[in-house]
Structure 1
Amino acid sequence: MAFTIPRLYCPLSVPDEHPDLDLMEKRGLDWIASRGLASDPVTHRLVANSQSHALLSRLTPSAPAPLVQLGVDLGYLLFTLDDLRTDTGPTSIDTGLLMAWLYDFTYALAVPDAFLPDADPGCSAIAELSRRIRAVTPPEIWHRLIDVLHQSCWSAMWESTQRNLKLTPTFDTYLTARPRFGAAPATLLMAEIAAQLRVPEHEREHPLIRTAFDVSCLLLCLDDDLYSYPKEQWALDKAGRDAAHEPAAIPILMREHNVGVHEAAALLADIRDRLTLLLTRLLTLIKAAPFSPDTMAYVNIAASAVPVGLAWAQECPRFTDPDGRSPGLIELHWAGIHDIPPGNQDPLPYPSIESWWRHAAQPE
């Protein structure tokens, strides 16, 4: 099964690898196994295939390894739960069951000291990780993590409802939900924790900073929609589900524009290229403004997620071995990453994100 990813615009450089990269992989996989979430060789391979350590550690290559490890462990956990809860099993086809499971998950996250008899391994794992994060972060950051993961769970419910009721969301409504069920804000928050940043709240919510963060989150997820498409298609075919109703970028664009897969992938590439150009313009404005050093570091980490995600995906077996049993079953052909700005530089015509271009044109 072969799929070509169109040429993608990304002039941002990829950070160096963390010096403790291999150690963090071992510790992350050992932790997942200790929580009872990778009890057989196939599941262990699925978990290892996600290479969370390579994605998370590169966001903060000079941060202390114990703090980076928290994000690596959360990444492995979320990839595992995506495979075992939202993509397969009873909760993947029954929104009510998924809702009940996600409530237990968010309860364990927010009340990690509660005794949970017979808890699902995923819930006991997030409780243990929540306690570790709480121990090394200010209360407001820990509460922020609870909030962003609640949003991720709510958006996962949206995705499940669209799929199981065979609804037809617009691409604009998809753009609103996508970063959250992709856990992009949580990923970047874990990098913020690793870097030990203290971002002033009024700067965090400044239109330029907030927009750059939101653009970075969406780009990380739209790029995933490109390189994960054949893996997701393989899973749909295996499950006998209709791809036409799948709440994902390429199927939605195929339906809205009445085009085939490759034309929809080209449309998605153009959308993400124009968003990347917007991000570069925002970064230029931010660098010229008097923001605090921690705020500048926060924005740089968020923006670096775009090239880091692309570099990670090109080496990640998660996208070529869809079931942990079939290395190389999917052939991803990358047409290339380049630094030539897109010819079409007009704002995108989607109400949910149209204000982003106004912030870049009229900085406050």
Structure 2
Amino acid sequence: MTVIPPLFSPIPTAIHPSHAEVDRQTAAWAEAHEIGSAELRRRLVRHEIGVFAARILPHGREEVVRMLADFVLWLFGVDDGYCEESNLGQRPGDLAGTLHRLLRVAQNPELPMLDGDPLASGLRDLRLRVDAYGTDSQAVRWVACLREYAFSVVWEASHRRAGTVPSLTDYTLMRLYDGATTVIFPMLEMGHDYELESHERDHPAVRAAEEMASFVITWDNDILSDHKERSAGGYYLNVLRVLETDGFSHGEAMVRAVAQRDLVLGAFVRLTDRLAQEGSPRIRQYVAGLRSFIRGSQDWGISSVRYTTPDDPAGLPTSFSETVTGDSLAVLDIEAVAWWWDLVPDGPSPAGSGPRLGGLIGAR
């Protein structure tokens, strides 16, 4: 077992004051909709998914925190129940069909499709709550992001069936979506009852910040879940396995993966500092939400029994470091995401040299 050192995290920790009640309510929601098998529900309830949501939206509307918690549990019902623990996860064509039917429920919850299907029932409930707490365009974007997630897990299923490992560039692209981080982004806005304007949402710097957040969250998840996945004994896919396939030892892969996430996290902080300086109050709220999402994922990742696996201790860190690994101003050598650095300020703060983010200055 490789012991993971404390990971770099310059983002303050925070948690919603109703976290315990949210966690209880999410457990009740899982039972009411019978998400997954009874055994899967028993395990998921122990993972404190409500606490995770409370860390993502520490200052958000409680009803949205509850919705987010239920959605994350639903995602684990799909990811664990369909993709990881059933043979459907090794049949990409059948998995695509199943997910497309669920997507139709998300898109048109009024349709009488998949009656009696627990995941469809839960998803229908979630979509109606998205409508209640968000705008029409946020609901449309939420469904579109859910489709991105479905597409990426089918892609992963093709590798699971073949027993193959993708290249680092291909894996990076897939991981931006198969962690379902993008589906949570609209909920960051709903949690504080606002909506980015189209020119803000589509700005390359905002897109880059979102992708960087997805990268850090999923790389951290890969690092912290590696012991659990290896111990399970079946097919698994994470960045460490990708790097090992490229010839690195497990220890070398760990060092490299940690350095990669450190590099991106440092660039993310510089870019979001600049966005907060030059953007509207909505932009400032949104980048604060992205930061809370990253730190909430980190805090939950080192504390949830999903990853600490107390019966077979994973050797996870119990704290975070203020020290970045390697050259914090370097560029990550992965072709698919190199464009991020065209927008990242060169210096360690917004006052440093670097491109100004045209189109956000003076926004209302």
Normalising by structure 1, report the TM-score.
0.90
- The equivalent residue for 1:12 is 11
- The equivalent residue for 2:293 is 305
Cα distance in 2, alignment partners of residues 192 and 234 from structure 1: 37
Encode CA deviations 1:47-77: one digit per residue, 9 max, x unaligned.
Answer: 1133221121222222221122111110111
- The equivalent residue for 2:245 is 255
* Structure 1 contact 254–260 (Cα < 8 Å) conserved: yes
Encode CA deviations 1:249-286: one digit per residue, 9 max, x unaligned.
Answer: 11110111x12212111110000000011012112222
- The equivalent residue for 1:273 is 262
Q: Which amino acid aligns with 1:26?
A: R
Cα distance in 1, alignment partners of residues 139 and 318 from structure 2: 40
Encode CA deviations 1:110-152: one digit per residue, 9 max, x unaligned.
Answer: 1111112544211221012111211232100000000000000
Percentage of identical aligned residues: 21
* Structure 1 contact 174–247 (Cα < 8 Å) conserved: no
* Structure 1 contact 151–180 (Cα < 8 Å) conserved: yes
Q: Which amino acid aligns with 2:89?
A: S
Cα distance, 1:93 vs. partner?
2.0
* Structure 2 contact 114–120 (Cα < 8 Å) conserved: no
Among 303, 325, 342, the alignment partner of 1:358 is 342
Q: Which amino acid aligns with 1:177?
A: M
- The equivalent residue for 2:253 is 264
Cα distance in 1, alignment partners of residues 97 and 276 from structure 2: 45
1:96 to 1:293, Cα distance in 2 relative to 1, 3 A:
same
Cα distance, 1:33 vs. partner?
0.6
* Structure 2 contact 33–121 (Cα < 8 Å) conserved: yes
* Structure 1 contact 6–269 (Cα < 8 Å) conserved: no
- The equivalent residue for 2:26 is 28
1:38 to 1:163, Cα distance in 2 relative to 1, 3 A:
closer
* Structure 2 contact 36–119 (Cα < 8 Å) conserved: no
- The equivalent residue for 2:93 is 96
| Structure 1: runs of 5+ lacking an equivalent | 322-326
- The equivalent residue for 1:334 is 317
1:168 to 1:47, Cα distance in 2 relative to 1, 3 A:
closer
Cα distance, 1:329 vs. partner?
2.0
- The equivalent residue for 2:105 is 108
Paired residue total: 347
Residue 18 of structure 1 aligns to a residue in which SS? coil
Cα distance in 1, alignment partners of residues 237 and 321 from structure 2: 29
Q: Which amino acid aligns with 1:18?
A: H
Cα distance in 1, alignment partners of residues 20 and 307 from structure 2: 21
1:271 to 1:192, Cα distance in 2 relative to 1, 3 A:
same
Cα distance in 2, alignment partners of residues 267 and 38 from structure 1: 36
Q: Which amino acid aligns with 2:290?
A: A
Task: Determine if the alignment matches structure 1 residue 47 to structure 2 residue 44.
Answer: yes
Q: Which amino acid aligns with 1:136?
A: Y
Task: Determine if the alignment matches structure 1 residue 315 to structure 2 residue 312.
Answer: no
- The equivalent residue for 2:350 is none
* Structure 1 contact 56–191 (Cα < 8 Å) conserved: no
Residue 347 of structure 1 aligns to a residue in which SS? coil
Residue 315 of structure 2 aligns to a residue in which SS? strand
Cα distance, 1:44 vs. partner?
2.8
Residue 343 of structure 2 aligns to a residue in which SS? helix
* Structure 1 contact 162–168 (Cα < 8 Å) conserved: yes
Residue 337 of structure 2 aligns to a residue in which SS? coil
Cα distance in 1, alignment partners of residues 313 and 158 from structure 2: 28
Matches within 5 A, 1:180-219: 180-219=177-216
Residue 3 of structure 2 aligns to a residue in which SS? strand
Cα distance in 1, alignment partners of residues 221 and 110 from structure 2: 35
Greater relative contact order (Cα < 8 A, sep 6+): 1
Residue 217 of structure 1 aligns to a residue in which SS? helix
Q: Which amino acid aligns with 2:240?
A: I
Cα distance, 1:288 vs. partner?
2.5
- The equivalent residue for 1:349 is 333
| Structure 2: runs of 5+ lacking an equivalent | 345-353, 358-364
Q: Which amino acid aligns with 2:266?
A: L
Cα distance, 1:190 vs. partner?
1.8
- The equivalent residue for 2:361 is none
Residue 331 of structure 1 aligns to a residue in which SS? coil
Q: Which amino acid aligns with 2:101?
A: D
RMSD: 1.8
